[in-house]
Structure 1
Amino acid sequence: MVIGATTLRERHCPHAVMRGGRRLALIGAFGISVCSAPAAAQVSASDAATIAELRRQLDEMRHRLEQLEARAATAARPVASPAPARSASARAAASAPAATTAQAEARAAAAEARAAAAEARAAQQALAATPAAASALTASVPGLDPPDPMGRDFATEEALRSDLPGVAFRVPGTETQVRLYGFAKLTGYYDLGPRNQTDAPPPQTIPLSDSPADQQGGDFAMTARFSRFGIDTRSLTGWGTLETRLEGDFGGGAAGSSNAVFRLRQAWGELGDERFRVLAGQANSLWNEGVFETLIDATNLNQSFVRQAQIRLTARLAEGLTGMVSLEAPETTYTSAAGVFTPTTNLQGGASPAFSSVPDLLARLAWRQDGVEVGLRGLLRQIEIRTAGTAATPTVSDTTPAWGFAGMVRLPMRLASEAFGQDDLAIMAFYGQGIGRYFAGQTSGQDALTNLGLPGVDSPSLDAIESYGATVAYRRFWTTQVRSNFAYSYARNDYPSYALGFAPGSASATSLNRDYQQVFANLIWSPFAEVRNGTFGSGWLDLGVEYLFTRRDLYGGASAAGSAGAGHGIANRVLFAAIARF
């Protein structure tokens, strides 16, 4: 045991090698070797076994010191016990050798403990005088870094990884870290326009003007069902860090219901290091992009929050440049005269013609440096229908390719002037065909249209929907603790002309939204917010108010709406939220 510890210390700090039992006591009292700390900060995950063995030896040394101290304290105390009835001279003669031995051992143990403590204090003072060494002493084990400051920047991180900080602890005797994280969230809202009884209103479903919901007017509601809880573990292995995550919230129930239902958000494992990692499980899609910070829980216009099963590869390509590739679970969604269909939709009591036969392929590049962020993402997928074995006629089997790409730039405004502080500007734009399910907030998840079921159609076609749009967002920090987000988004979908043949007022016709516009403005107070090394963290608590304007215009206008209302819908919502993190 001593030899192993000596070898490691001599390798990294030969001048600090000590002698005999006092060296053991010093290592035990000091907790870890002073000069081995810089080396520990440099070891890779492959050295985990060596680190674990050293820590075991240090624990034994610490235990030895405690025994010495206890022995000295026990021997130094006078022992009161009844003596047998015999002469004083006999008692003195019998007890003298034992007393002499005990006192000698006590003095030796106490002297050894005092010497070790003195050397430990001297070593700590020398360490404090060396900033680099002091920093290394407190450095985390590579691969088991502690959580980031509470309330990490949601605008740039949450959409892709949802990697929230939390309460972390090391499992004793192992190289495993367990982390609990999440938040309790209360949201209340009031609609100034049509009544829309959902706490997460996607743009494509806001009520049409002149509809019954519009005639009723807005109402008020509150919910806490989007409160979240997660468990994250990180373990050092010979292949790098193994991270696992289970995360869910209570948003699985019906909107407006107080009986919240727990639902799974993420369940994955990822193995590797900062150079290369492999992930498998249900996780946020590589297409996800939050763009800006909002309080509402809806999937907003041009924002993406898709979570699905996938296999993902992540690699560091250069300093600040990360590349990702994933195969993700597919889901064809198409609209016909009979309605909107997915692979699990029921068609007249039978199976759905919507079919999925190959996974979606996605890729992403992200570059970050000095607060500047540039991201590119793309996807390639196949949309398919098979009517054989379903109630749909005529029998047809058809596929169409779908693809899309998007880019985003985030710029800290301090590049223009330090007077802007932490303010930042984000611009995102996208274009694609058949990417509706990755923008679930604006196309009802539509990927394609088909004229299947329309009168006089003998050879149905399957047409991917062309989509494009952009978002501009500005985040203003009034103070470190008070900030606002202002955003404008526009999106457009182009449909084949046969869609005008869908029955006016039907679910098919009223789901075809050609143009969208959305405006956000909020004010958020985070009393525990702080900026560390140029990175903003909102802290334990957010309190905020938000205004949201949304407009959608149907393809075909009032003719498509029929008796369902006007050819457009306008919604104005005011909401407040309180988010308490742990």
Structure 2
Amino acid sequence: MRKTSLVLLASALPLAVQAANTEFTFGGYVKLDAMMSTYSDGPLTVGLGEDFYVPAAIPTGGDETTSFDMNAKSSRFNLKSVSTLDNGEKVTAFFEMDFLASGQGTERITNAYAPRLRHAFFNYGNLTFGQTWTTFMNTGALPETVDFLGVSDGTVFARQPQIRYTMGDFQFALENANTTLDGSGDTALTDDNTLPDIVARYNMKMGDHAFTVSAIARQFATQDGAGVDESANGFGINVSGKIMVGGDDLKFSYTTGNVSRYVGLSQLPDAITSGSSIEPTDVTGAFVAYRHHWNSQMRSTLAYSMYDAEQDDGVERSSNSTRLNLMYSPTKAVTYGVGVEYTMANIDKDGVEGDMSRIHFTAKYSF
């Protein structure tokens, strides 16, 4: 027994020396979601729509259906380290995973789902390397919703590998590029881009209020091996922020441009191939949300979100949703009981509509 202890102690010494200059912290939350959903033209065929609100998953052209779903897949775990280097500078690393969007596992017996990578990055000086939220997205403007995302129609949403430089309130980033193309009714994801997505962002504060303006430049490209080797450029802009109204807050976001992959959870392809050219999709997305604190433990958010897009071939897509919730936190770490959200949503696919109404309950413990 003593020999084993000595061996373990000896093997732990290198880690102990390293840990003397590194501080580790972990966090995350355990979250249960339960949803009762009614679809005017169901049934739901895209499984991801059972986990959270995905506008494109709303069925069209069928009969009304109602379904109940319960899961804990949005539960997450993260690990953070802050190390002091030999030169006295610090490097921060962050890693996080959850279990959403997993193709593994069923609800039949064990509900076992594979973890997915959310964040994996490190900061050194003014530079960030790795996967995290796109610089084009302002997470500080996202409203508090029971749904994983809530304002899915109108918000910028993407996590991806990038190199980001921060200089005061300015941020500049080179981010992973991908193009979704629609040529003959089939959507394909291509990796033929020769340039990364380029993002510039400016954050500003005015008292308790906060605003962000960001712009993105993109390349759309395809090489199909059959003589088609084309590319086109696209641009987009986002304005978002938070305005304090006494103890309440008003959050908003407006995005427009050739940013289909970034807005509305990619309801339409980034571009279409038309003959020997690529024509980018024009997208507009927006949301506004007002949160009122009833008291120190209870608050409500009323949010409206919209999306509108048109392809060069005349294909149109629009969706919108309205949600109202009541959140109750007996302590800072726990939200449960009355964490109920009611969602009304509509999607229009070239004149064919579908509606969804959902009552969503959650219980969450953060650690």
**Which runs of 5 or more residues in structure 1 are unaligned?**
1-169, 317-321, 344-353, 390-394, 415-421, 452-458, 500-511, 529-538, 558-566
Q: How does 1:174-193 map to 2 (within 5 A)?
A: 174-193=20-39
**CA deviation vs aligned residue, 1:378-415 (integer Å, no higher than 9, x gap):** 110100111225xxxxx32111101100101311102x
TM-score when scaled to structure 1?
A: 0.55
- Aligned with 2:155 (options 283, 291, 303): 303
Name the residue aligned to 1:515.
Answer: 318
**CA, structure 1 residues 377+293, in 2 after alignment: closer, same or farther (shift >3 Å)?**
same
1:472 equivalenced with 2:285 (yes/no): no
Name the residue aligned to 2:52.
Answer: 200
Name the residue aligned to 2:67.
Answer: 219
Q: Which amino acid in 2 is paired with 1:365?
A: Y
**1:490–1:515 CA contact under 8 A, matched in 2:** yes
Name the residue aligned to 1:481.
Answer: 297
- Aligned with 2:118 (options 237, 247, 265): 265
**CA, structure 1 residues 550+174, in 2 after alignment: closer, same or farther (shift >3 Å)?**
same
**CA, structure 1 residues 323+256, in 2 after alignment: closer, same or farther (shift >3 Å)?**
farther
Once superposed, what is the RMSD of the aligned Cα atoms? 2.1
**1:252–1:262 CA contact under 8 A, matched in 2:** no
Q: How does 1:406-425 map to 2 (within 5 A)?
A: 406-414=238-246, 422-425=247-250
* Matched residue SS, 1:426: strand
Q: How does 1:399-548 map to 2 (within 5 A)?
A: 399-414=231-246, 422-433=247-258, 435-444=259-268, 446-451=269-274, 459-496=275-312, 498-499=313-314, 513-528=316-331, 539-543=332-336, 544-548=339-343
**1:171–1:177 CA contact under 8 A, matched in 2:** no
Distance in 1 separating the partners of 2:308 and 2:29: 35
**1:239–1:271 CA contact under 8 A, matched in 2:** no
1:195 Cα deviation after fit: 3.6
**CA, structure 1 residues 309+552, in 2 after alignment: closer, same or farther (shift >3 Å)?**
same
Structure number with higher strand proportion = 2
* Matched residue SS, 1:431: strand
Name the residue aligned to 1:281.
Answer: 130
Structure number with higher helix proportion = 1
1:235 Cα deviation after fit: 1.6
Q: Which amino acid in 1 is paired with 2:94?
A: R
**CA, structure 1 residues 578+412, in 2 after alignment: closer, same or farther (shift >3 Å)?**
same
1:370 Cα deviation after fit: 3.1
1:577 equivalenced with 2:357 (yes/no): no
**1:443–1:513 CA contact under 8 A, matched in 2:** no
Structure 1 segments of 4+ aligned residues over 4 angstroms from their partners: 170-173
Name the residue aligned to 1:228.
Answer: 76
1:303 Cα deviation after fit: 1.9
1:429 Cα deviation after fit: 1.1
1:171 Cα deviation after fit: 8.7
Aligned residue pairs: how many? 336
Q: How does 1:10-409 map to 2 (within 5 A)?
A: 174-193=20-39, 194-196=42-44, 197=47, 198-208=50-60, 210-211=61-62, 214-215=63-64, 217-237=65-85, 238=87, 240-254=89-103, 257=107, 258-272=111-125, 277-290=126-139, 291-298=142-149, 300-316=152-168, 322-343=169-190, 355-388=192-225, 395-409=227-241
Q: Which amino acid in 1 is paired with 2:341?
A: E
**CA, structure 1 residues 180+554, in 2 after alignment: closer, same or farther (shift >3 Å)?**
same
**CA, structure 1 residues 173+294, in 2 after alignment: closer, same or farther (shift >3 Å)?**
closer
**CA, structure 1 residues 341+173, in 2 after alignment: closer, same or farther (shift >3 Å)?**
closer
**2:134–2:175 CA contact under 8 A, matched in 1:** yes
**CA, structure 1 residues 338+431, in 2 after alignment: closer, same or farther (shift >3 Å)?**
closer
**2:34–2:69 CA contact under 8 A, matched in 1:** yes
* Matched residue SS, 1:181: strand
* Matched residue SS, 2:261: helix
Q: Which amino acid in 1 is paired with 2:349?
A: L
1:550 equivalenced with 2:335 (yes/no): no
1:367 Cα deviation after fit: 1.4
Distance in 2 separating the partners of 1:464 and 1:576: 39
**2:155–2:286 CA contact under 8 A, matched in 1:** no
* Matched residue SS, 1:439: coil
Q: Which amino acid in 1 is paired with 2:52?
A: A
